[in-house]
Structure 1
Amino acid sequence: MALTIRKARTIVKATLAKGRELELKPLSVVVLDAGGHVIAFEREDGASPGRFDIARGKAYGAIMLGMGGTAQMARAENQAYFMAAMNGLFDGKVVPVPGGVLVRDAKGAVIGAVGVTGDSSENDAAAATAGIEAARLTAEA
């Protein structure tokens, strides 16, 4: 199963709705396909202009390494040399913190990733997870 534009739009809309429900700071959300290509992006009013790159970096790290941002951060804390090497390998595009969430289909296959930024990393991850689940897919934060 591929991650469609329709599902990506559902994820973005539901992620932003969760952010509003939780009264988070203005969020930016990006949805990537399984190859790391952008399917959808939205930046709320008031979000800083650099947020696209941060959101993409969170999602890109998840898709390229096959692990959510929470696992990436733990790996960075335990093996900083590994994450430094990965960031070098991927031209500095990996942001290894919560808010980068893998998207899995019903069979467990990785079909994309979502990156959210704007609030605390943990809140970003919670909003992304809500968006993914609203699209009836499985999140791995």
Structure 2
Amino acid sequence: MNRISLEAARVIVRETLNHAEKAKMKPLSVAVVDAGGHLIAFERSDGAPAGRFDLARGKAYGSVMLGIGGTAQRDRAEAQAYFIAAANVAYGGKLVPVPGGFIVRNAEGDVVGGVGVSGDTSENDLAAGEAGIKAAGLVPEG
């Protein structure tokens, strides 16, 4: 598979939210984008603030556009704030360079899309997103 199918995106969303519910996390929002940063699927748990859409999508979009997950983006921002600021301008302010954004790879290592999870702590966002991506048979890189 060289792309995230709609069915795989639905699995990612469902299993990310299931993981969060079982772990008693705060309500999450989950966005799945293709390798071009275009939204495939989005869902938010009951009780998740509506504004989390932009955060989840920004985490996924930034991961795909920069080719690095949200944790690496945060680390890059700490080391080279000017780079992330310039990239955010170049991408129309759509980047959210914090943990919870994932590059998604297929078994061959090709980038097939991105996932963004927002709503709880960065560590919990990461754990939930990783569970969802793996449930779809794909490889998370956060």
Question: What is the TM-score with the length of structure 2 in the denominator?
Answer: 0.98
SS in 2 for 1:45: coil
CA distance in 1, matches of 2:35, 2:132: 17
Tell me what 2:71 maps to. 70
Map of 1:110 onto structure 2: 111
Question: What's 1:88 paired with?
Answer: 89
Q: What amino acid sits opposite 1:97 in the alignment?
A: V
Structure 1 residue 50 corresponds to structure 2 residue 63: no
What residue ranges of structure 1 are gaps of 5+ in the alignment?
none
Structure 2 CA distance, aligned partners of 1:113 and 1:123? Answer: 17
In structure 2, the residue matched to 1:139 is: 140
Which consecutive unaligned segments of at least 5 residues does structure 2 have? none
- Once the 2 structures are TM-superposed, how far is the Cα of residue 79 of structure 1 from its aligned partner? 0.4
Shift of 1:5: 0.3
Q: Deviations over 1:59-117 (max 9, x none)?
A: 01000000000000000000000000011111111000000011100100000000000
Alignment correspondent of 1:3: 4
User: Between Structure 1 and Structure 2, how many residues are aligned?
Assistant: 141
Structure 1 match to 2:37:
36
For the residues of structure 2 that align with 1:34 and 1:135, how far apart are their CA atoms?
Answer: 16
Q: What CA distance in whole angstroms lies between the structure 2 residues aligned with 1:13 and 1:60?
A: 20
Q: Offset at 1:122?
A: 1.6
Instruction: Give secondary structure in 2 for the equivalent of 1:102.
Output: strand
TM-superposed deviation, 1:134: 0.3
Identical positions, percent: 61
4+ residue runs of structure 1 moved beyond 4 angstroms?
none
**Deviation digits for residues 10-41 of structure 1, max 9, x if unmatched?**
00000001101111100000100001011000
